[in-house]
Chains A and B, each alone.
Chain A
Amino acid sequence: MASEIHNPRTDIRDAFFDRLYDLAAQDRDTLFLTADMGALSLDRFKRDLPRQFINVGICEQSLVSIAAGLSLSGKKVFIYAITSFITQRCYEQIRIDLCGMRLPVVIVGSGPGICYGSDGGTHHAVEDIALMRALPNLSILNPSDPLSASAAALMAHKSANPVYVRLDKGKLPALHREEEDFSEGLRVLKKGRDVMLISTGVMVHKVFELADELAKHNIDAGIIDLYRIKPINTELLLSYLNEYKKLVTIEEHILAGGIGSAICEIVADHGIAKPVKRIAIPDIPCSQYGDREWMHRYYGLDVQTMVGLILQDCL
């Protein structure tokens, strides 16, 4: 029986793992390997499909290489750990063993951006998009709601290439509709006339608040959810850009190499003369602790600061 994802406030992580459970229950060759990272919704997987669930211990490097070996043996492998660890501790293994050999392993990073808030800088993943964008053959998915998370599990399972999924957690309202096709990689969630706000992951929810605030300043903002960061659907993106005077990218990631950089590359490569404002985490190490909302204020990703930046720099 298909898992329940209709509830508009399903935990985004549960939506991903519930879909994965359904896929794995139908396919004995789908394996889930974790570096000692759990989730409530994984308990069912572990209980019902014990042969397909392996906790390798706290060792991200060998996790990736073991997954490569299993993939060479014909298995569809999902690997899972905290985002900062599974992207950085084992970067070379991802680069050589997965991307170099083009093996369809799915890397699931739990808690991208500053999801882990007051756990501090060791647990923040704010460079991962830059790192992963640099790797050949690797797709990057960053779901923003339960529906896109469920779709990400399906797309990753089907992929013939390695995939990296930035998987947030928490109960989030649906932004997309279930019947929608997620193969396009991005979607306009709100149309506007003045400025196009492009964001990814859970920050898309904050961007709706931002658009509401901008409206009070007579700025009609559109919103794009870039749920596939690599490869970006350039053709589709360009088809929307002509309708807007300015572009603003918003992300829980450092300025260098994130979606702001990716959009600037596309704009530059296509000779488009259009201002782009990048709102992201400044190039400073995290030296303060606080919850996610507090960290947003600390880094200038709160709505009030973003409105100020857009009014000052963009219009």
Chain B
Amino acid sequence: MLIKELERKAAAVRRQVLEMVVSANKGHIGGAFSCTDILVALYYGGGLRCDALRPDRQDRDRFILSKGHSGIAQYVILADLGFFPASELETYGANRSMLGGHPDRNIPGIEADTGSLGHGLAIGAGIALGAKLDGKHHLSIVLLGDGECYEGSVWEAAMFASHHRLGNLIAIVDRNRQCATDFTESCCEMEPFAEKWRAFNWETVEVNGHCLEELLEVFSTLGHRESNKPLAIVAHTIKGKGATCMEKTVECHHMVPEGEQLSAALEELARGCR
């Protein structure tokens, strides 16, 4: 898929996420928007090997959305790819819906239950070790939030992964520099962030998490890495990216845009789809 098409896809995903949040009157929209380009590049750009027709195939890459509160963006993509009917998206957050605020394995295409932060990287490390023990070649890819990296269990897993030379484990960090109620560098400094991963003996690269070209470039290397170090991709992003009213605001974590803000956001995203 061409870069321009991917950009249009990302705008379409955000627009649908916005509509779902408005419809349900809730949702973690800010974090979903900050990682949308990463998810689009993974799922549509060839970084992640998966098959909607055979979601359980053994040679698929395993993707864990450790920042489970961004699941709404993943739902839109999974439905678009055919993992489940798009009509399910209309039920988001409703009673009896399969799709709630955080993903679980009852949803086709979801590999692990997430929602409580700090679990996904260790689960991904276990999957990567299992593959390595069996001589299998699929990747274990985990998307974390930067705020999630306050959890000590993330660093337990980071240490384990480098010790066991899990070159088949990829951590992507959505570095939007915000947590739920604050900015990371205000509440508890994370910088030098990439250096922390390097210090844990991970190969570490930094990318613009909204530049699909950069994302595709790094993702294109994942399937044939020679290093036995796990790879951390620090993706610099903007929380709420794509809707000016939300970008870099503390409120966007849980925001449900309405009135003029909603109209403006829909218009911005519609322009992106064209």
A residues contacting B by CB (< 8 A) are 51, 56-57, 59, 61-62, 64-75, 92-93, 96-97, 100-101
User: Are B159 and A57 closer than 8 Å at their CB atoms?
Assistant: yes
| Known A62-B160, A101-B113; contact A68-B133, beta-carbon cutoff 8 A | no
User: Are A62 and B112 closer than 8 Å at their CB atoms?
Assistant: no
User: Are A73 and B112 closer than 8 Å at their CB atoms?
Assistant: no
Q: Which of B62, B157, B159 contacts A65 (CB 8 A)?
A: B157
**28 pairs from A and B in contact (CB 8 Å cutoff):** A56-B160, A57-B160, A59-B160, A61-B118, A62-B153, A65-B122, A65-B123, A65-B126, A65-B157, A66-B122, A66-B126, A66-B129, A66-B160, A67-B126, A69-B124, A69-B126, A69-B129, A69-B140, A71-B126, A72-B112, A72-B130, A73-B126, A73-B130, A75-B130, A92-B116, A93-B119, A96-B119, A100-B113
Separation in Å of the A100 CB from the closest CB of chain B? 5
User: Are A62 and B124 closer than 8 Å at their CB atoms?
Assistant: no
User: Are B112 and A68 closer than 8 Å at their CB atoms?
Assistant: yes
User: Are A97 and B113 closer than 8 Å at their CB atoms?
Assistant: yes
Which residues of B sit under 8 angstroms from A67, Cβ to Cβ? Answer: 126
Residue in chain A with minimal CB distance to B123: A69
Which residues of A sit under 8 angstroms from B111, Cβ to Cβ? Answer: 72
Q: Which of A57, A71, A73, A97 contacts B119 (CB 8 A)?
A: A97
Residue in chain A with minimal CB distance to B125: A66
* Interface hits, B52-67 → A, CB 8 Å: 62
> How far is B127's CA from A59's CA once the two chains are assembled, in angstroms?
18
> How far is B112's CA from A72's CA once the two chains are assembled, in angstroms?
9
User: Are B125 and A73 closer than 8 Å at their CB atoms?
Assistant: no
> How far is B105's CA from A91's CA once the two chains are assembled, in angstroms?
20
Given contacts A69-B126, A69-B128, A96-B116, 14 further A-B contacts (CB under 8 A): A51-B133, A59-B159, A61-B152, A62-B122, A65-B120, A65-B126, A65-B157, A66-B122, A69-B130, A71-B126, A72-B126, A73-B134, A75-B133, A97-B113
Decide yes or no whether B185 CB sits under 8 A from chain A: no
Which residues of A sit under 8 angstroms from B116, Cβ to Cβ? Answer: 92, 96
Decide yes or no whether B250 CB sits under 8 A from chain A: no
Which residues of A sit under 8 angstroms from B122, Cβ to Cβ? Answer: 61-62, 64-66, 68-69, 93
User: Are A61 and B153 closer than 8 Å at their CB atoms?
Assistant: yes
Residue in chain A with minimal CB distance to B119: A65
| Known A97-B113, A101-B112; contact A69-B133, beta-carbon cutoff 8 A | no
User: Are A59 and B156 closer than 8 Å at their CB atoms?
Assistant: yes
Separation in Å of the B122 CB from the closest CB of chain A? 3
Separation in Å of the A65 CB from the closest CB of chain B? 3
User: Are B127 and A70 closer than 8 Å at their CB atoms?
Assistant: yes
Which residues of B sit under 8 angstroms from A97, Cβ to Cβ? Answer: 112-113, 119, 123
Separation in Å of the B97 CB from the closest CB of chain A? 18
User: Are A70 and B129 closer than 8 Å at their CB atoms?
Assistant: yes
* A-B CB pair tally, cutoff 8 Å: 92
Residue in chain A with minimal CB distance to B136: A73
> How far is B160's CA from A66's CA once the two chains are assembled, in angstroms?
9
Separation in Å of the A244 CB from the closest CB of chain B? 44
> How far is B127's CA from A74's CA once the two chains are assembled, in angstroms?
9
> How far is B104's CA from A70's CA once the two chains are assembled, in angstroms?
18
Which residues of B sit under 8 angstroms from A73, Cβ to Cβ? Answer: 126-127, 129-131, 134
Which residues of B sit under 8 angstroms from A92, Cβ to Cβ? Answer: 116
Which residues of A sit under 8 angstroms from B129, Cβ to Cβ? Answer: 66, 69-70, 73
> How far is B127's CA from A97's CA once the two chains are assembled, in angstroms?
13
User: Are B152 and A70 closer than 8 Å at their CB atoms?
Assistant: no
| A interface footprint on B85-127 (CB within 8 Å = 1, 0 otherwise) | 0000000000000000000110000011101101111111111
Separation in Å of the A22 CB from the closest CB of chain B? 21
Q: Which of B123, B131, B134, B152 contacts A66 (CB 8 A)?
A: B123
Which residues of A sit under 8 angstroms from B159, Cβ to Cβ? Answer: 57, 59
Separation in Å of the B113 CB from the closest CB of chain A? 5
> How far is B153's CA from A112's CA once the two chains are assembled, in angstroms?
25
Which residues of B sit under 8 angstroms from A57, Cβ to Cβ? Answer: 156, 159-160
Which residues of A sit under 8 angstroms from B153, Cβ to Cβ? Answer: 59, 61-62, 65, 93
> How far is B104's CA from A93's CA once the two chains are assembled, in angstroms?
15
Separation in Å of the B230 CB from the closest CB of chain A? 13
> How far is B127's CA from A62's CA once the two chains are assembled, in angstroms?
13
Q: Which of B127, B134, B152, B157 contacts A72 (CB 8 A)?
A: B127
User: Are A68 and B130 closer than 8 Å at their CB atoms?
Assistant: no
User: Are A68 and B126 closer than 8 Å at their CB atoms?
Assistant: yes
| Known A70-B129, A96-B116, A101-B113; contact A61-B124, beta-carbon cutoff 8 A | no
Which residues of A sit under 8 angstroms from B104, Cβ to Cβ? Answer: 100
Which residues of B sit under 8 angstroms from A62, Cβ to Cβ? Answer: 122, 125, 153, 156-157, 160
> How far is B128's CA from A66's CA once the two chains are assembled, in angstroms?
9
Residue in chain B with minimal CB distance to A52: B133
Which residues of B sit under 8 angstroms from A72, Cβ to Cβ? Answer: 62, 111-112, 123, 126-127, 130
Which residues of B sit under 8 angstroms from A74, Cβ to Cβ? Answer: 130, 134
Residue in chain B with minimal CB distance to A92: B116
> How far is B119's CA from A72's CA once the two chains are assembled, in angstroms?
14
| Max chain B C-beta neighbours (<10 A), residue from A51, A61, A93 | A61
Lowest 10 A-B CB distances belong to which pairs?
A69-B126, A73-B130, A65-B122, A62-B156, A59-B156, A66-B126, A62-B122, A61-B153, A69-B127, A69-B123
Separation in Å of the B116 CB from the closest CB of chain A? 6
> How far is B131's CA from A165's CA once the two chains are assembled, in angstroms?
27
